[in-house]
Amino acid sequence: MEEKTGAGQTHQQSAHQPGCFICTTAIPMLERWWSESTNDHFRNSRVEFLKGIRSLIDDRIAHLSRHQERKGTHVTVE
């Protein structure tokens, strides 16, 4: 993360801060436990979540489209 200093200069701030529980304990623990298969599971869950959202949108579009077709009056011409 970049942090602005005086005179418009920037410097890189370390992602791991000393004394921070997340930085000193949680992140290193996750880095040891996080395997490629874990990454695949979370990636697949994101894909499935987005597919669910797409399904909701498709259903809503179909619902609105059905209502559009019913507009107007049907007249039989002899």
Q: 37-76 pLDDT, tens per residue?
A: 999 999 999 999 999 999 999 999 999 888 765 566 778 8
46 domain-assigned: yes
2 domain-assigned: no
- Check residues 35 and 73 and name the one with the higher pLDDT: 35
Res 11: pLDDT: 47
27 domain-assigned: yes
Handedness of CA 45, 50, 51, 56 (dihedral sign): positive
Mean pLDDT across 3-26: 65
Domain carrying residue 15: 11-69
Angle ∠(67,72,74) on CA atoms, nearest 5: 110
5 domain-assigned: no
63 domain-assigned: yes
Q: Specify the number of domains making up the chain.
A: 1
